[in-house]
């Protein structure tokens, strides 16, 4: 639970941001013991969209309106994100997947397709493993379920690979370790998270100008708060439990699409066939990790072509 009231976000509040997505509305639901914020728009089959670090539901704004032409689009602030509750526990992806399953039940939905980016891809993967009967199709954009492979991540970058831009073949993601540390990150970053954001977008995007100054301000306003940093880092601090859970799962039975940027395409191409029976992997190789902002048209073509070929 949040120990202190969150400060007003002004122009970056959900109430203001929703005005940039005509036809979408803000909602809250208490499910699985946690209060989740979600944004909904459109009609048709349900498509649940889960964001990643360090963003919120707003990361889907470049593609949400087009998706809503064909689907009932539900953009969720996952546990610990944005305006959703930030409890002390429950950040393993199995519990977070249960949050989403209970949200579907709250909405009267028996089945949905899921689109997850980054940490959202981890949660979407867990949803598919644990609730296959409720999963129509699964789309993983630069994010998949944590596995033993995370233990192979280097302490030091490969020689020459740690430069101004992430190396697509030898990525060095130092924040995976930094976010494991408890209490220190929020002490260092509270009120100055924009410095991390600017570095991150410069490092992992091929064209950082595609992340607008307004978007950056939105995420800085959210993650400047210590409780929000603490909760987001808890997604990483639960990786050990996530790996243990992964070792108990079979293969994903539903159709799975992996969408990989230039930093994740090779990894998804190699790893997803081991965990999914029916999988396709598409590369958007002229984009960095934040592909919704860098290459929204390519993302939409991939997503719509997979979900509804006639629409794509």
Q: What is the CA radius of gyration of the chain?
A: 18
Between CA 94 and CA 105, with CA 100 as vertex, the angle to 5 degrees is 125
DSSP 150-202: GGG--SSPPTT-BSSSB-SSS---THHHHTTSSSHHHHHHTT-HHHHHHHHHH
- Give catalytic status of residue 215 as yes or no: no
And the tokens for 176? Answer: 């995976």
Determine which one of 70, 101, 236, 290 is catalytic: 236
- Give catalytic status of residue 289 as yes or no: yes
Determine which one of 37, 61, 262, 289 is catalytic: 289
DSSP 27-41: EEEEETTEEEEEEEE
Neighbour tally for 305: CB within 10 Å: 15
Please check whether residue 149 is in contact with residue 81, taking contact to mean a CB–CB distance below 8 angstroms.
no
Angle between the N-to-C axes of helices 213-223 and 193-204, in degrees from 0 to 180, rounded to the nearest 10: 130
Q: Which residues contact 54 (CB under 8 A, 6 or more apart)?
A: 193, 196, 197, 200, 219, 223, 232
Cis peptide before 232 (omega within 30 of 0): no
Determine which one of 77, 92, 99, 118 is catalytic: 118
Please check whether residue 111 is in contact with residue 46, taking contact to mean a CB–CB distance below 8 angstroms.
yes
Residues marked active site are found at: 118, 236, 289
């Amino acid at each position: 639970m949040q120990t202190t009231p969150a400060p007003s976000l002004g122009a970056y509040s959900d109430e203001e941001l929703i005005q940039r997505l005509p036809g979408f509305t803000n909602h809250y639901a208490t499910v699985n013991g946690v209060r989740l914020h979600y944004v909904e728009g459109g009609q048709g089959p349900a498509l649940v969209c889960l964001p990643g670090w360090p963003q919120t539901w707003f990361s889907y704004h470049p593609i949400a309106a087009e998706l809503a032409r064909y689907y009932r689009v539900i953009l969720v602030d996952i546990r610990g994100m944005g305006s959703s509750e930030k409890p002390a526990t429950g950040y393993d992806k199995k519990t977070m997947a249960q949050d989403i399953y209970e949200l579907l039940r709250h909405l009267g939905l028996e089945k949905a397709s899921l689109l997850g980016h980054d940490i959202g891809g981890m949660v979407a993967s867990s949803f598919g493993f644990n609730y296959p009967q409720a999963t129509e199709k699964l789309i993983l954009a630069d994010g998949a379920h944590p596995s033993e492979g995370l233990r192979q991540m280097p302490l030091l970058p490969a020689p020459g690979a740690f430069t101004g831009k992430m190396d697509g073949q030898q990525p060095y993601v130092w924040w995976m370790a930094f976010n494991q540390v408890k209490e220190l990150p929020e002490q260092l970053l509270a009120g100055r998270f924009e410095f991390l954001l600017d570095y991150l977008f410069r490092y992992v995007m091929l064209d950082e100008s595609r992340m607008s100054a307004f978007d950056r301000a939105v995420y800085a306003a959210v993650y400047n708060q210590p409780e929000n940093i603490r909760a987001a880092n808890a997604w990483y601090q639960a990786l050990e439990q996530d790996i243990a859970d992964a070792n108990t799962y079979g293969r994903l039975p539903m159709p799975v699409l992996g969408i990989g940027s230039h930093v994740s395409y090779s990894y998804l191409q190699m790893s997803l066939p081991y965990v999914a029976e029916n999988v396709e992997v598409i590369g958007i190789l002229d984009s960095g990790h934040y592909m919704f902002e860098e290459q929204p048209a390519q993302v939409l073509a991939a997503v719509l072509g997979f979900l509804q070929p006639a629409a794509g």
